[in-house]
Amino acid sequence: MILPRTHLSVALAAVAILAASECSLLASAQANVSFSNYVTMPDGVRLAAEVYLPPGATRDAPLPVLLQLTRYWRAQEDPHTGAAIPSLSSLDRFFLQNGYALVVADVRGTGASFGFRTTEYGEQEVRDGYAVVDWIVNQPWSDGSVGAYGTSYTGTTAEMVTAVNHPTIKAVIPGWSDWDGYTSPVRPYGMLASGFIRTWGSYVGWQDDNNTGQLGASVRRVDGDDDGALLAAAVAEHANNPDVYEVATWAEYRDSDFEGIKFFDMGPTMWLDEIEQSQVPMLVLVSWLDAGTIDGTIQRLTRLTNAQKVLIMASGHGGGGHASPFVVGSDPVAPEPSADEQFAMRLAFFDHYLRGVDNDVLDWPNVRYFTMGEEAFHEADTWPPAASSPRRWFMAADGALDLEPGSDGTDSYTVDFGVTTGSTNRWTTQMGGPVRDLDNRGAMDARMLTYTTAPLEHDLEVTGAPVVMLEVSSDHADGAFFVYLEDVDPAGRSRYVTEGGLRAVHRRPYEPKHLGEPLHSFRQDDALPLVPGEMTELEFRMWPTSVLFRKGHRIRVAIAGADADTFDRLPAEGTPTITLHRGRSGSSILLPVIERE
């Protein structure tokens, strides 16, 4: 069935309802078939792989296979009884009940797999993907077509497995995945996001150690390991894994070397040529409000020529709940599109590329993006959208934000280290929580340096990555600069839209720019301390967004020197006073504007 793209959401909803009803009937009649194996890598290291076949399938009936490479345990069991604990997500079950086989493998140095890790998303972990895929396509239950999918870590491994250029990998679906581990989620803006990385590091450390006391479960043993001797031997090898938080704390710069570990050596940015060479098609799901994953999506879309279909939501990590501050306060709200519609998109994509189904996937827009404030989806075939053009607003006297620069002057701000975006923000959602309580920023605005426009005379859409230019001086040699873009309604209620920031010592520009936007290397030899009292320029991107500022609303820029619940204090001692310079050559923000009638 081929439908015009304007009917995409209706078609997907119908597919989802049909698939869900079929799934319910299948699940009530039969259970999935599952078994596990060790897969031996070329260097002899054995990886644990769990195989799931659809209800009623047999091991000699070939099916298209979907792969997940995970560091979060492929499956679990009760540590006392050995009984299996249900480990499949609703999406996993959805694919199984729609006729796909599923393989979930513990990556090297995790779960029940042997070996140890040198880093997250390391080179050897990526190369292992070839051997795993090769093993899959030589099994009697595989028809020789492989896809990969996942969310977060498994979303990243789904993309990175394309780099091994195995000819049987037909399509991948990375969801809410990491692109550059330094800038998101470990050291955004060059600052340590301890609020996330300490928690995540502890969790994966417990998993690598099979710490049943902390986790209340054990990683599942591979079939035949009845006495657990193989599992114990595998876990013993994990003792050589680095401590994630320790490495993040020590690795201050992008090129910091921690016993041979560098940020340069991890993630998709190391494999751009290989990923592009594969030409594997991708369906990418992401959110405007999920750490910096949206920036990775835009980088991928504009740098790689692989066929890509991108869905940009206003959700938390994984797409399970709405996150637009125009809709969500402290209570949960269902996401748009719904979970069923998201599932249906994935199924249609894999059906097209792995099964050759003649559906409308190729007619989908390249980018379907959600505009907050309007609470509606739009489509684009290029990025930035063709209608987008830059418009500059200047920070002016008396807290104004104007299209004209105004007279020269300065504003002084003493950093308030209690300023925060809270404990349910774009960074905390990386641990699976919601994004909430960003719909009323007035109390925090009063503790920041703010600049606000007059009420808008017409609706104004901002879609893309805003660019901030600050002319500042400080009485300290280093410091944090956070900038928030906010919508202020006629009643004076301010809502978070997006943010950006920069650690001052990383201010040296990095060339070449991408999409004309300022970049920074975050390398140690590019670090440039401030000279106290001397004016300098900080220019940086904010995270991309799409928002409709309604007629009568105002645009606000809020500047802070801390985000207390997410980032480490910077500087560690002392309280900087910042002087912001405004006027004809002073501080400003460049917004990517799409005109509205």
Residues with a known catalytic role: 152, 290, 317
Check whether the bond before 337 is cis (ω within 30° of 0). yes
Strand partners, 412: 579
The CA distance from 582 to 411, in Å, is 8
Q: Determine the Cα–Cα distance for residues 570 and 562; give it in Å rounded to an integer.
A: 7
Give the CA distances from residue 13 to residues 317, 363, 512, in Å, rounded to whole numbers and listed in that order: 22, 17, 43
Cα(74)–Cα(510) distance, rounded to whole angstroms?
40
Interhelix angle 8-29/90-97, nearest 10 degrees: 80
Report the Cα 42 to chain-centroid distance in Å. Answer: 32
For residue 424, give the 3-state DSSP assignment: coil
C-alpha 151/C-alpha 173 separation (Å) is: 9
Give the separation between CA 567 and CA 364, rounded to whole angstroms. 39
Dihedral pair phi/psi, residue 144, rounded to 5°: 95, 0
53 alpha-carbon distance from chain centroid: 30
Q: Is 588 exposed, middle or buried (0-12, 13-18, 19+ CB in 10 A)?
A: buried
Q: Determine the Cα–Cα distance for residues 291 and 178; give it in Å rounded to an integer.
A: 9
Identify any residues that bridge with 102 across adjacent strands, giving them in sequence order: 52, 66
Q: How many residues does the chain have?
A: 597
Give the contacts of 437 (CB within 8 A, at least 6 positions apart): 329, 330, 422, 424
How far, in Å, CA of 545 to CA of 291, rounded? 12
**What is the C-alpha to C-alpha distance for residues 156 and 435, in angstroms, rounded to an integer?**
21
List of E strands, 515-564? 517-519, 536-541, 545-549, 554-560
Q: What's the rounded Cα separation, in Å, for the pair 177 and 173?
A: 10
Task: Check: CB of residue 48 under 8 Å from CB of residue 113.
Answer: yes
Q: How far apart are CA 429 and CA 318, in angstroms?
A: 9
Handedness of CA 492, 496, 500, 505 (dihedral sign): positive
DSSP string, 347-394: HHHHHHHHH----SGGGS-SEEEEEBTTTEEEEESSSS-TT-EEEEEE
Listed in order, strand segments (DSSP E) in 80-141 are: 84-85, 101-106
Q: How far apart are CA 390 and CA 290, in angstroms?
A: 24
Q: How far is CA 505 from the centre of its chain?
A: 26
